[in-house]
Amino acid sequence: MTPKDICTLQDVGYTYPEADRPALDGVSFQVREGEWLALLGSNGSGKSTLAKHLNALLLPTQGACFVYGMDTRDEQNLWTIRSHVAMVFQNPENQIVGTVVEDDAAFGPENLGLPSEEIRKRVDWALSVTGLEGKATNPTYSLSGGEKQRLAVAGALALDPPCLVLDEPTAMLDPQGRRDLLSILKTLHSQGRTIVYITHRLEETVFCDRALVLQEGRVEWSGCISELFTHRGKLEEWGLECPPFVELWQMLVRENIISRNTPATVDGVRQALCLL
């Protein structure tokens, strides 16, 4: 059974007010249910602008965007769309509303008008998935940057959205914080949630199924992650840096020491090498 398309962009164009050139120009693609899609591009490529179309924070100035079959331009669909596609942003500090951890996680469900017991269930679940259940009654200002970002994810999860969009969520985190966040996303992905992950760091896309590369508002390439890693020269053209480990993976694949199907992770490569 082919997975259905939950988001469809048809020739979407977007120009910011007072901008002289469009941020998005004729973008068409689909997000498939259950996939972990990476949206890659250098700064200014339009990836954040694109992400904001997925939950109707921005409406296309050209073309159309459909989320779970609903047209984002139809105002009536707004809140249903946003409860289906939840978004996490770059700055952990600027997403937190509540003074106490569990109160902040409850913000979304409160907005949905859910009864108190249901909110309790969702908050407890969201905090346990993100590893924050021990800090439920702590004040939010006492959390570290990584914990605040995990709380932002918990707040989005409390809406119980089938799809999660994350816009450069690790940009302001330290390496440990990045690893913690990615491991949470891996769990969510394995449970069937659709994840759209915007980044310029190639090393964070190793667990993704598919990738889309944007440049100057246009889709330059789309395909599987392993295919992307083998595109040596193209990456630089697209303004993407090939991380040292991925470069190592590429060299080993080219020499036929490991196969293309080996995941570009430390464990993956080590296992492949030790089997030789």
Rounded to the nearest whole angstrom, what is the least distance from the CB of residue 152 to other proteins in the complex? Answer: 8
Using the rule CB under 8 A, is 219 a contact of other proteins? Answer: no
Using the rule CB under 8 A, is 233 a contact of other proteins? Answer: no
Instruction: Name residues contacting other proteins, limited to 39-78 (CB under 8 A).
Output: 42-43, 55, 57
**What span, in angstroms and rounded, lies between the C-alpha atoms of 48 and 196?**
11
Residue of 38, 96, 132, 153 interacting with other proteins (CB under 8 A): 96
Using the rule CB under 8 A, is 109 a contact of other proteins? Answer: yes
Contact flags string 168-197 toward other proteins, x per CB under 8 A: ---xx-xxxx-x------------------
Instruction: Name residues contacting other proteins, limited to 255-274 (CB under 8 A).
Output: 255, 257, 266, 269-270, 273-274
| Ordered DSSP codes for 45-83 | SSHHHHHHHHTTSS--SEEEEEETTEETT-GGGHHHHHH
Rounded to the nearest whole angstrom, what is the least distance from the CB of residue 244 to other proteins in the complex? Answer: 4
Residue of 129, 188, 252, 260 interacting with other proteins (CB under 8 A): 252
The sign of the CA dihedral 236, 239, 245, 250 is negative
Rounded to the nearest whole angstrom, what is the least distance from the CB of residue 2 to other proteins in the complex? Answer: 29
φ, ψ for residue 36, nearest 5 deg: -110, 105
Q: How many CB atoms lie within 10 A of CB 276?
A: 6
Residue of 1, 2, 113, 191 interacting with other proteins (CB under 8 A): 113
Using the rule CB under 8 A, is 86 a contact of other proteins? Answer: yes
Within 13 Å and on the Cβ side, how many CA atoms surround 119?
16
Stretch near other proteins under the rule CB under 8 A, chosen from 62-70, 117-125, 209-217, 224-232: 117-125
**What span, in angstroms and rounded, lies between the C-alpha atoms of 122 and 137?**
15
Rounded to the nearest whole angstrom, what is the least distance from the CB of residue 134 to other proteins in the complex? Answer: 17
Q: How many CB atoms lie within 10 A of CB 227?
A: 13
Pick between residue 26 and residue 230 the one whose CB is nearest to other proteins.
230
Residue of 59, 245, 260, 263 interacting with other proteins (CB under 8 A): 245
**Residue 261 C-alpha from the chain's centroid:** 23
Rounded to the nearest whole angstrom, what is the least distance from the CB of residue 69 to other proteins in the complex? Answer: 19
Rounded to the nearest whole angstrom, what is the least distance from the CB of residue 251 to other proteins in the complex? Answer: 5
Using the rule CB under 8 A, is 207 a contact of other proteins? Answer: no
SS3 34: coil
| Ordered DSSP codes for 195-210 | EEEEESBGGGGTT-SE
CB 27 within 8 A of CB 218: yes
Rounded to the nearest whole angstrom, what is the least distance from the CB of residue 258 to other proteins in the complex? Answer: 10
Q: Among 10, 83, 94, 43, which residue's Cα sits nearest to residue 198?
A: 43
